Amino acid sequence: MSLTQTKYAQAAPAPPNVMVIFGAGGDLTSRKLIPSLYYLFSADLLPENFAVIGLDRLDLDDDGFRALVAQQIASQVGAEFDRAVWDRLVARVHYMRIDMRSGPDYDLLCERLSRIDAERETDGNYLFYMAIPPSLFGEVNHHLGAAGLLHESEGDWRRVIIEKPFGRDLESAIALNNDLHRNMDEDQIYRIDHYLGKETVQNIMVFRFANSFFEPLWNRNHIDHMQITVAESVGVEHRGAYYEEAGATRDMIPNHLLVLLGFLAMEPPNSFQAKALRDEVNKVLDAIQPLTPEQVLTHAVRGQYGAGTMPNGERVQAYRASKGVDPKSHTETFAAIKLTMDNWRWAGVPFYLRTGKRLTAQYTEVAIQFKKAPTIMFQNTDVDQITPDMLVLRIQPNEGIQMSFSAKVPGPSMRVGTVNMDFCYEDYFGNKPATGYETLIYDCMKGDATLFKHADTVEKGWEIVQSVLDVWAALPPRDFPNYDAGTWGPCAAGDLTKNDGRLWRRIAVPKANGR
C-alpha cells in the first residue's frame, strides 16, 4: 500500500461524476488539479465511473490534451509516480475547445457531457472547476445556467468550485455572490481556499478540541497574543498585471489569514458539519472590531519590496521593475495588521497578521504566545526574567507543532533556559505527497462543504479589511519601496508589535531540505 493509500485508508470513494475544468490549459490545472486527481485515483478515492473534460481555447483533441497534461505529471508526483495508475486515469481525460463567452458553445458542451455521461455511467453528476480569471466567473455561470447545466434533478448533483479572489472589495464580493445565486443555490457553490487543504490547518481544530490540556488555556486569561505569518520568498513572477490590481492585502488577508484566525479563535462547534463550523467561524469574524480610519494609521502597515539579495545569494529586481507593473506603483507587496475582538474569550488579546512577497523565507506559521509567569519566587536567584511559553503551528514548510517552555539549566545555581518540544508530521506519519487540493476536491465530490467558504464568510472578511483598503487608496505611500527583497519587511512592521511591548517571533530560515 502506497503512502497516498495509507493516508486515505478509511475513506470511501467519491460518487460517480464528471469533473469539468474551465481553463484547463492553465498552470493551475497542470501543477495542482491533475496531480491531485492522480493522488485521489491512486488511493482508490475516485470511482471507476469517473471522467474529466478540460475546456479552453487551445486547438487540441483528447490525445493532444492528454499529452499536454502528461508533460509534468511525473515530475509533480515524484518518486511515487506509477505509470499504470496514470494510464488508467488519463484514459478518462477528455478535452473540448470552447469560447467561454459564447452561448452556443455551451450547447455543444451539453452534448459532449451527455456522451461522456453515457459512456462512463456518471449518473449526471457534474463538478465544474473554475480555473479562470475572476472576471469570467459571472459570465460562465450565466451560460451554464442558460444551458441547463446547473439544474439539479432528483438523483443527480451539479456543483461549482470557484478559485479566489472572491471579489476585490466588499461591494464586488456582494455583487459576485448575487450573480452566482441567480443560477445556483448556495449549497452548490464551493469557494476553495487551498490553505484549508493543508494538514496543519485542519489539525488546528483537532489540536484544540481533542486535547483537554490545551483548550482550558485557550483564552484571554492565559494567552498574551497571537501572530499569523504567511511569508513568500518569491516575487510576483508573471503575475505582475494581476498583482497591480490586487496587492498583498486583497490577495491574502480576507481569505487565507482570516480563515486561519477563525479556526484559532472560534468556540467549539457542536460537530464538524459544515454549518456548525461555518457558524462558529462567522462569530469570530463578527467579533473582530473593524479599524476606524484613524486606527488604520497605527494598526496597519504596508510595504513594497525594492531590489535586494535573497538568502541564497540571488540578486533580485524591485517590484516596480517586474513585467506588467507600473514603474511608480503604489501597490503593496507587504501588509501587516493588528486586530482585536469584542468577545469574552479574546477581549484584550491582539492578533497580529503579516504577509508579503520577497521576504527572507517561504514560511507560514501561527505563533501563540502565553502570558509571562510571575517571577517573585525567583527574586533571590540568578533568574531575572522568564521567557514566555510559546506554541508554534507550522503550516509550511515542514508541517508540525513546536512548544517552547522554560526549564532549569543543569548546574548548582538556579538558571532557566528555553527548551523546545517539536512534532513533525513527516516524522510520525511519513512524507505523504500532496498538493493541498486533494482533500478539497474529494470533499466537494462528496458534497461536504466544511472546508469551503460560505458567502457570509467571504463578505465578513472583506468588511474587516475595507477600511484599510479605503484609507490606503486615499493616502498613497510616500516611501515605496520601503524594504529590500530578502528581508522580513518594512521597519514599520516591527513597530506594530514593538509599540505594544511585543516582538514578532524570530523565524529561522529553513534549510534547503525544509528542515
Looking at residue 287, which CATH number applies to its domain? 3.30.360.10
Helix, strand, coil shares of the chain as percentages rounded to 5?
Answer: 40, 20, 40
Instruction: Report helix, strand or coil for 401.
Output: strand
pLDDT at 1: 34
**In a shared domain, residues 477 and 411:** yes
**Mean pLDDT value across residues 487-511:** 89
Alpha-carbon distances, residue 398 vs 2, 10, 430, 436, 482 (angstroms): 21, 25, 11, 14, 30
**Mean pLDDT value across residues 363-377:** 84
**In a shared domain, residues 406 and 475:** yes
Q: Note whether residue 10 is domain-resident.
A: yes
**In a shared domain, residues 116 and 218:** no
The residues annotated as belonging to the active site are: 256
Which pLDDT band, with edges at 50, 70 and 90, does 515 fall under?
very low
Which pLDDT band, with edges at 50, 70 and 90, does 239 fall under?
confident
**Grid coordinates standing for 445?**
465530490
Query: How many angstroms separate the CA atoms of 249 and 103, rounded?
Result: 35
Alpha-carbon distances, residue 311 vs 76, 326, 416, 490, 511 (angstroms): 26, 27, 33, 17, 10
- Tens digits of residue pLDDT in 374-398: 765 666 666 666 778 899 999 888 8
Whether 311 contacts 509, CB under 8 Å: yes
Query: How many angstroms separate the CA atoms of 33 and 286, rounded?
Result: 33
**In a shared domain, residues 381 and 240:** yes
Q: Note whether residue 369 is domain-resident.
A: yes
pLDDT at 514: 43
Out of 137, 163, 189, a domain closes at 163
Give, for 258, the enclosing helix (H) or strand (E). helix 258-265
126: CATH: 3.40.50.720
- Tens digits of residue pLDDT in 137-148: 999 999 999 999
Instruction: Look up residue 507 and give its DSSP letter.
Output: P
Residue with the larger pLDDT of the pair 5 and 302 = 302
Does residue 269 carry a pLDDT above 70? yes
- Tens digits of residue pLDDT in 401-419: 999 877 777 877 777 777 7
Query: Domain total for the chain?
Result: 2
Mean pLDDT of the chain: 90
Does residue 334 carry a pLDDT above 80? yes
Q: Note whether residue 171 is domain-resident.
A: no
Highest-pLDDT range among 165-174, 213-222, 345-354, 449-458: 345-354
What does the angle CA 407 – CA 408 – CA 411 come to, to the nearest 5 degrees? 155
pLDDT at 375: 62
Out of 163, 183, 206, a domain closes at 163
Query: How many angstroms separate the CA atoms of 169 and 187, rounded?
Result: 23
Query: How many angstroms separate the CA atoms of 356 and 247, rounded?
Result: 9
**In a shared domain, residues 318 and 406:** yes
Q: Give residue 152's domain range.
A: 3-163
End-to-end CA distance of the chain: 27
**In a shared domain, residues 206 and 73:** no
Out of 138, 163, 188, a domain closes at 163
Locus of grid cell 481555447? 57
Give, for 283, the enclosing helix (H) or strand (E). helix 274-287
**In a shared domain, residues 75 and 154:** yes
Instruction: Look up residue 438 and give its DSSP letter.
Output: H
**In a shared domain, residues 154 and 205:** no
pLDDT at 87: 94
**In a shared domain, residues 148 and 204:** no
pLDDT at 433: 59
Q: Note whether residue 130 is domain-resident.
A: yes
pLDDT at 512: 43
Q: Note whether residue 47 is domain-resident.
A: yes
Query: How many angstroms separate the CA atoms of 158 and 154, rounded?
Result: 11
**In a shared domain, residues 18 and 133:** yes
Give the helix ranges, DSSP H, for 59-169: 62-77, 83-90, 103-120, 137-146
- The sheet carrying 189-192 orders its strands as 93-97, 50-56, 17-22, 126-130, 158-163, 189-192
**In a shared domain, residues 119 and 218:** no
How far does CA 128 lie from the centroid of its chain? 20
Q: Note whether residue 26 is domain-resident.
A: yes
**In a shared domain, residues 143 and 240:** no
**Mean pLDDT value across residues 312-332:** 95
Query: Which residues, other chains included, contact 20 with Cβ-Cβ below 8 Å and sequence gap of 6+?
Result: 52, 53, 55, 109, 113, 126, 127, 128, 129
Q: Note whether residue 185 is domain-resident.
A: no
Does residue 2 carry a pLDDT above 70? no
**Grid coordinates standing for 422?**
517539536
Q: Note whether residue 144 is domain-resident.
A: yes
